[in-house]
Amino acid sequence: MANRIPHLQRFFYSHYFFGGLRQAVGVLLPPLFLGGALGLYDVGMIAAFGAACVAIIDQPGGPRRYGTSGMLAAVLLGSLTAAITGLASSHSVLIWLVVPALCFFFSMFTVFGKQGGLLGFACLLLMTLTMRTPLAPHEVLLHTIYSFSGGAFYFIFSTIAHRLLWHREEQQALSVALFATADYIGARAQFYDPNTDLDADYRKLIHAQSAMTEKHQAARDTVLRELPKGRHRSDRLRAAALNVFIDMVALLDSLVATHTDYATLRRSVPDSDVLIFARDALFKLSINVSHIALNIARNRSVKERNSVKAELRAIEFELDQYRQGGLVEREPEVYALLVQVLRRLRNATRLVDRMADHISNTVTAELVDMRLDKALDRFLSRQTWRIGMLTSNLRIDSSHFRYATRVAVAALVAMTLNAAISHAGLDSVMPGAGMHGYWIILTILVIMKPGFALTRQRNGWRLAGTLIGCGLALALFNVTQSTDIYLAVLVIACILGYSLIQLNFMVAAVFNTLFVLLVFHFLSPSTNLVIGERLMDTFIGCGIALLCSYILPWWERNFMASLANAAKKANLELLKTGLRYAGLTRAKTAARALSLPEAEALDAEQHEAEVRWRLARKNVYIAFGNFASAFYRMMDEPIKQQKHVPELNHLMIQNHVLASQISAAIPILASLPVVPEGIQKSLDAVGELLEGNDANPPVSIETEGELATLAYPLRQMVKAAQLIRQEMRGVETDTMKAANVPT
């Protein structure tokens, strides 16, 4: 819609740009000071290599405590890597043994998750940059000290920057999560448009939810890392950010619980204005959330909002017309669904308005839910690093072992090819291939990823980005000879290269190529031959990476059954914790009504159950996001490697439906004085089906009064659980047979 925030504006106010700026400054300061002020250009470049190694760990949007420990590890392991590579660089045989061994060892760090993968890549980056020039034994110690100093400088610089700008980081992480939430609301609004294709709407929604889950976790790890403890200004700022985060999660939970049978609604009330009004209301709420996100990033209050009162009143009028027309008697469940849509739109509107108030009033900020204060740290992500995780994956059926083997083989092939070119004297035909073979290895390390689809995708992006970057550099060198302009472009390219690496790999490759070419131009300003060298090296590296990606490949289909099972188990846990929360809520309400002495104890127990239910909901979002991401990665792999596509697609949809209906049903169950027998049997049947057992849910359930609002979600839960059990049987049986010896 016309009032949406432009993506360029979102980018420049995001933590991606802010983080890229911090990384670029931390990497460029050592060479600018040592080279520009003291004339120590070589020392400055080596220090910059050490700083660049640590900067890779300093990614925006992650838990700060893991970033600090990761940067310290990068300083120490990077320095050790530089020393080992430097000692081996002057021995033609030893370097052939060291480089593949280091590639294998550090590629195995993917067993530690994203942070481990970044640490491994950072050390390998320093390895390739160290091997660019052979070092004599007496030079290795100084080279290692310079590299260590650059890494230590970046660590200190980053720590100070994070300490001074902590609130800015919270705002930007929260802003990115809110933008993702706005995109999700916009995707959900499409379901109420009778003219759209439901399957296409589902694909967009699942993509949006997967992206949103990742950004919500990043915001969670940033905002919840230090909670307000007093009434100082910093505590008020933390409380305001925390309030926005709590309401953002509540908004998401409310939206997830609005899932309904849109096909039935379109069929039952095809010409109803209720659907159009609901669509428009959600679009307006999406725009409001986007404006809140932008103003949080800009540290401003929200002055303008789109009102949805007209849409809500129009829906009320339409529902009154339906009631007078007898829809309640003819199709009570359809009418109950429409009423639920109206209620949740009202709740969503209230939450969005409250979020806007939070950022407009930080002077007297109080937590919107004081009971959550001591429980919020349980929502943070946890990371464990154990040596046993490495040793236990040293086997042929481990995806991490296979990936590390591919990288080591690719590095060995690159070194062999580079040596062959140099030995045959083909440097004149393939300029720079022998002299700058380290760039081939660097290209391989950047492109090769554990998944085949991502490796192939990055291959094309890297080639295109390098080609465009070389073209821009050639044009720049021919247009002007001003070193001031070159320096300005170099700084801008470095900032944008770091900023875009998580958002658009191809565009990041353009700026990174331009940055590297300008660096080499400053080192050797008399020739533009380096442009051809970089282009040729990149083509060779991409070719090797693509060929070696077929060595011991680990296809996404091998993961799909376990990921689908994890999503099913997460839904089962959501159901169990939700039923316990609902049961304790009913017991607490009854105890208070009778003034029983155990009411206070039940209150604490009910609060603990509520926290566990919220944790289970978070885990459902994460499990579903992992499942959906892996499914779409599998769809990018060769067709012959795609197995059980219809079944997995059904599982993905039904797990989404089940989570939505559980989220919708639990609050209603909690409000009932007692659960009727038919409804209880249906709930028991859902649990049995998710555990893989046979179950016979009742044909009919109670639907009188408020129970009508439970009828639809309960039937959808039973249906989804039955379909999940049915599809999982076929997927698990076939996958277990095929996974014994993965190919």
In a 10 Å sphere around its CB, with 0-12 CB exposed, 13-18 middle and 19+ buried, how is residue 138 labelled? exposed
SS3 315: helix
> Which of the residue ranges 362-366, 397-401, 440-444, 605-609 would you say has the lowest mean pLDDT?
362-366
Distance CA 210, CA 626 (A): 8
State CA 355 to chain mean position distance: 23
Residue pair 556/454 in contact (Cβ under 8 Å)? The answer is: no
**pLDDT reported for residue 358:** 80
Distance CA 713, CA 257 (A): 9
Residue 433 has pLDDT above 60, yes or no: no
**pLDDT reported for residue 520:** 78
Please, which residues have CB within 8 angstroms of residue 321's CB and are 6 or more apart in sequence? none
- Per the prediction, the chain carries an average pLDDT of 82
**pLDDT reported for residue 229:** 62
In a 10 Å sphere around its CB, with 0-12 CB exposed, 13-18 middle and 19+ buried, how is residue 169 labelled? buried
Please, which residues have CB within 8 angstroms of residue 260's CB and are 6 or more apart in sequence? 337, 340, 341, 712
Q: State mean pLDDT over 672-695.
A: 86
Which residue is associated with the tokens 């309400």? 589
State CA 82 to chain mean position distance: 31
Please, which residues have CB within 8 angstroms of residue 83's CB and are 6 or more apart in sequence? 140, 141, 144
418-451: b or e for each residue (b if 16 or more CB lie within 10 Å)? beebeeeeeeeebbbbbbbbbbbbbbbbbbbbbb
C-alpha distance from residue 542 to each of 96, 185, 545, 717 (Å): 20, 39, 5, 48
SS3 722: helix
If one compares 266 and 668, the residue with the highest pLDDT of the two is 668
Q: How many CA atoms lie within 13 A of 469 on its CB side?
A: 33
Q: State mean pLDDT over 309-332.
A: 85
Residue 145 has pLDDT above 90, yes or no: yes
Q: How many other C-beta atoms lie within 10 A of the C-beta of residue 268?
A: 17
Positive or negative torsion for Cα 429, 435, 438, 439: negative
**pLDDT reported for residue 376:** 58
SS3 739: coil
Tokens representing 349 are 């509107």
H helix and E strand count, the chain: 27, 0
Residue 558 has pLDDT above 70, yes or no: yes
DSSP state for residue 395 in the 8-state scheme: S
Q: State mean pLDDT over 131-159.
A: 90
**pLDDT reported for residue 135:** 85
Tokens representing 303 are 């002055």
**pLDDT reported for residue 434:** 43
**pLDDT reported for residue 102:** 94
**pLDDT reported for residue 534:** 79
Distance CA 609, CA 466 (A): 54
**pLDDT reported for residue 26:** 92
Which residue is associated with the tokens 């905002």? 223
Residue 315 has pLDDT above 80, yes or no: yes
**pLDDT reported for residue 129:** 87
Tokens representing 427 are 């440097």
Residue 460 has pLDDT above 50, yes or no: yes
C-alpha distance from residue 678 to each of 474, 584, 695 (Å): 75, 20, 14
C-alpha distance from residue 547 to each of 398, 409, 595, 610 (Å): 20, 11, 74, 52
If one compares 192 and 743, the residue with the highest pLDDT of the two is 192
Q: Which helix (H) or strand (E) holds 21?
A: helix 15-31
Residue pair 118/383 in contact (Cβ under 8 Å)? The answer is: no
Which residue is associated with the tokens 């432009």? 6
Across 290-304, 471-485, 516-530, the highest mean pLDDT is recorded for 471-485
Positive or negative torsion for Cα 148, 151, 153, 155: negative
Tokens representing 741 are 């010896």
**pLDDT reported for residue 432:** 42
Residue pair 465/568 in contact (Cβ under 8 Å)? The answer is: no
% of the chain residues with pLDDT over 70: 87
**pLDDT reported for residue 357:** 83
Across 142-146, 267-271, 415-419, 648-652, the highest mean pLDDT is recorded for 142-146
Give the tens place of pLDDT for each residue, 603-655.
778 888 888 888 888 888 889 888 888 888 888 888 888 888 888 888 888 88
Please, which residues have CB within 8 angstroms of residue 587's CB and are 6 or more apart in sequence? 602, 606
Q: State mean pLDDT over 292-312.
A: 83
Residue 30 has pLDDT above 80, yes or no: yes
Distance CA 652, CA 630 (A): 11
Give the tens place of pLDDT for each residue, 157-184.
998 988 888 888 888 888 889 999 999 9
Q: In 3D, which of 332, 337, 327 has the Cα closest to residue 259?
A: 337
Residue 260 has pLDDT above 70, yes or no: no
% of the chain residues with pLDDT over 90: 16
Q: Per this entry, what is the length of the chain?
A: 743
Residue 228 has pLDDT above 70, yes or no: no
Distance CA 570, CA 336 (A): 28
The model's confidence at residue 576, banded by pLDDT at 50, 70 and 90, is very high
Which residue is associated with the tokens 């698990």? 732
DSSP state for residue 636 in the 8-state scheme: T
If one compares 275 and 432, the residue with the highest pLDDT of the two is 275
Q: In 3D, which of 71, 57, 45 has the Cα closest to residue 132?
A: 45
C-alpha distance from residue 228 to each of 168, 224, 285, 310, 370 (Å): 16, 9, 29, 38, 11
Long-range CB pairs of 465-468, under 8 A, 24+ apart, other chains included? 465/505, 465/506, 465/507, 465/508, 465/509, 465/510, 465/512, 465/513, 466/509, 466/513, 466/534, 466/535, 466/538, 467/535, 468/510, 468/513
Positive or negative torsion for Cα 31, 34, 40, 43: negative
| Residue 449 backbone dihedrals phi, psi, to 5 degrees | -130, 160
Q: How many other C-beta atoms lie within 10 A of the C-beta of residue 382?
A: 7
Which residue is associated with the tokens 């839910």? 369
**Spans of all domains in the chain:** 8-164, 177-189+199-371, 398-548, 557-738
Q: State mean pLDDT over 15-19.
A: 87
Residue 426 has pLDDT above 70, yes or no: no
Q: State mean pLDDT over 259-267.
A: 69
State CA 736 to chain mean position distance: 29
If one compares 134 and 36, the residue with the highest pLDDT of the two is 134
State CA 387 to chain mean position distance: 26
Tokens representing 652 are 């993905």
Q: State mean pLDDT over 365-379.
A: 56
Residue 734 has pLDDT above 80, yes or no: no
Please, which residues have CB within 8 angstroms of residue 727's CB and are 6 or more apart in sequence? 647, 648, 650, 651, 654
Which residue is associated with the tokens 């790999």? 505
Give the dihedral of Cα atoms 449, 62, 59, 539; nearest 10 deg. Answer: 10
Distance CA 292, CA 304 (A): 10
Q: State mean pLDDT over 255-274.
A: 71
The model's confidence at residue 743, banded by pLDDT at 50, 70 and 90, is very low
Helix residue ranges per DSSP H, 195-232? 198-223
pTM of the model: 0.80
Residue pair 278/341 in contact (Cβ under 8 Å)? The answer is: yes
Residue 370 has pLDDT above 60, yes or no: no
C-alpha distance from residue 508 to each of 8, 10, 295, 513, 515 (Å): 15, 17, 27, 8, 10
Residue pair 15/499 in contact (Cβ under 8 Å)? The answer is: no
C-alpha distance from residue 29 to each of 4, 37, 259 (Å): 38, 11, 52
